[in-house]
Amino acid sequence: MRATLPFRRLVLAASLLALPVLSQAATRIEVQAGRSYMDSHGANTGFVEAVFAPHAIGNTRLTWSPDVSAGWIDGRKLSQFRGMRYNTSPSVALLAAGARLRTTDESAWYHPVFFSFQVAGTNHTTQALSTHYQFVSTLGLQFDHVTVGVRHISNGSTHKPNRGETMAVVGLGFEI
């Protein structure tokens, strides 16, 4: 399903307004694409993510970085959900914010590993995402210019149905 023209204009306007802020504060921009699954039904997905400068967590070897993203998950035309309150046909856009955790030990084999947790808002509800608020968890590997990850989005069983979206994403990262 295609996005409506007013929604596209809103996303474009928000992106243009965010550019000056991102150019001053962001250290890494990632453009990600992948395949998302609800049960065994797949859909294409894409994200743009900004990961800001890291901050030490006390005296540990861990850092946290503010992490914001905008994403898109295509709809699915599944006849068994047609006509239900929560169907699968709408595409879902989401905006999320949270933190990305990594280690500071650059010589360690696990240095590329990261975990991020975000809270998201969506424009539509579906069988997979039945509320307008969601939790986003990502476990991945971050290299100089490539990111790979497994991401899960759901409402944490606060509302039924709670099928969630589970996806594999691959991204290109650019330092600003």
Residue extents of the structural domains in the chain:
5-175
> pLDDT for 48-86, tens place per residue?
999 999 999 999 999 999 999 999 999 888 777 777 778
pLDDT band at 23 (very low <50, low <70, confident <90, very high): very low
State the Cα–Cα distance between residues 140 and 168, nearest whole angstrom: 9
CATH code reported for the domain at 5-175: 2.40.160.20
pTM of structure: 0.82
> pLDDT for 138-172, tens place per residue?
999 999 999 999 999 999 888 888 889 999 999 99
